Amino acid sequence: MRPAISYKPLWLLLAAALFAVGMWTYADRVLIPYQKADAAAHDRPRGNLSDLYPRWVGARELLLHGRDPYSPEVTREIQVGFYGRPLDPSRPDDPGDQEGFAYPVYVVFCLAPTIGLPFAILQKACYWVLFFLTCATTLLWLRILRRSAPLWMQIGLLALTLGSPAVMQGLKLRQMTLLVAGLLAIAITLLVADYPVAAGFFLAWASIKPQLVVLLLFWLALWTLGDWRRRYRLAVSFLATMTILVAASEWYLPHWIPRFWRAIHEYEHYTASASVMDNLFGAPWSWALELLACAAVMGVCWRERRRAASTGSFVFTLSLALATTILIVPTCANYNQVLVIPALLVLAKERRTIWRRSIANRALFVLTGSLVLWPWLSSTALAGLSFVLPQPTVERGWAIPFWTVIQIPVAVAALMLAHYYQTTFTASAEPGAS
């Protein structure tokens, strides 16, 4: 008899490719046309709309001309390129985001090699750098999880990653969150491979978006203190690199830290930024839930602080910290959810254990999977409809793929916490458990 041929890998690979093509086709044929039509209807300016541009202008002005990148004058110059003209407070339909330079000064050192390039060239180059870095980041997380995936699975995973709403938006905007995600993946890969000095170096550079790494840094600090004699090199390397970055920033722009904090507060004010929990539940319930989530994560960190970096428990805790970060940072940007990818990979790896645990776990697992799948399914459907229905009709459904995006990190963090504490309590209840 002939051996049975399994077509499962082929179908899964084709489905992943279809979802990726569907997401990008939806963006080009539905989302962006809607945004352009809406901007024209309200006389809203549209320039290059690149999130890289404010950072690049700030770096150029500071390094070449010694100007303060946080100043109102530089902000107006940024607006001319980003929006096509300076924003006018007298126009009610003008965007609220002033696009000020709201990053630590040391981000300019990342961009220093590019300040002599025309921005149009840098814009294209940055797209491909972030594209390949995101691919490498996904493969690095597989390596960190010590999961040997066949080639078809790796290709399918790359397709799903590049076709996710977070990565699609991040690439379109040239968002530096994708750079931060790559730096974190490199740092953790080095740490797991027992290169803590190099890991601390890359971890410090990832702090160009400090709000995205603060919870992870808390976990790594607690983990380092859990076995200081063996792990102190990570802390020394990180602190030494941060000292150099902060000192170099102070040399280029004295007293930059108060200006940075003022820029952050102004950003939160003019964008009316709110966390995922604020958007879902509203204050004060969101504050209580954020505090509860942080307490639960800190409990996991405390229990796992003595685990080696090569263990699954270490990676689980790290992925949980990144997923929970998305819940509490004071912004609700979709592209930040690229940091949820490690947690999704952990849950995929643990899917059989989670499924066998309880009915509640199965229900939460199905809910999480449905929330994750919805943007791919709906965007692919809208992409197909854009070829057969009138453009205005399809554009009216532009928001459908984003209906579940804000709930995804909540469900992922909840499922990870439920799985961890159920496993912990089950193990402690077994006879002979210490």
CA 322/CA 214 separation, integer angstroms: 9
Q: What pLDDT shows up at residue 1?
A: 44
CA distances from 234 to 110, 209, 222, 242 (A): 22, 20, 12, 12
Q: What pLDDT shows up at residue 434?
A: 43
Q: What pLDDT shows up at residue 274?
A: 85
| Residues 38-45, mean pLDDT to the nearest whole number | 90
Confidence label for 426 from pLDDT (cuts 50, 70 and 90): low
According to the per-residue pLDDT averaged within each range, which of 135-149, 276-290, 375-389 is highest? 375-389
| Residues 416-420, mean pLDDT to the nearest whole number | 93
Burial code (b: 16+ CB inside 10 Å, e: under 16) for 418-429 equals bbbebeeeeeee
Contact 304, 313 (CB under 8 A): yes
Domain boundaries, the chain: 39-271
| Number of alpha carbons in the 13 Å side-chain half-sphere of residue 265 | 6
Confidence label for 242 from pLDDT (cuts 50, 70 and 90): very high
Q: What percent of the chain has pLDDT over 70?
A: 96
Q: What pLDDT shows up at residue 402?
A: 94
Polymer length of the chain: 434
Neighbours of 376 (CB within 10 A): 22
End-to-end Cα, the chain, rounded Å? 53
Q: What pLDDT shows up at residue 429?
A: 53
Q: What pLDDT shows up at residue 422?
A: 87
Considering only CA atoms, give the Rg of the chain.
Answer: 23
CA 430/CA 433 separation, integer angstroms: 6
**pLDDT > 70? residue 3:** no
Confidence label for 400 from pLDDT (cuts 50, 70 and 90): very high
Instruction: Provide the residue type at 265 as one letter.
Output: H
pLDDT, the chain, mean: 92
Query: Helix 359-385 and helix 341-349: axis angle, to 10°?
Result: 130
The residue written with tokens 């940055």 in the block is 126
**pTM for this prediction:** 0.94
Confidence label for 83 from pLDDT (cuts 50, 70 and 90): very high
Contact 339, 322 (CB under 8 A): yes
Poorest-pLDDT segment among 9-13, 320-324, 429-433: 429-433
* Cis before 69? omega within 30: no
**pLDDT > 70? residue 296:** yes
| Number of alpha carbons in the 13 Å side-chain half-sphere of residue 291 | 6
| Residues 234-263, mean pLDDT to the nearest whole number | 96
Confidence label for 89 from pLDDT (cuts 50, 70 and 90): confident
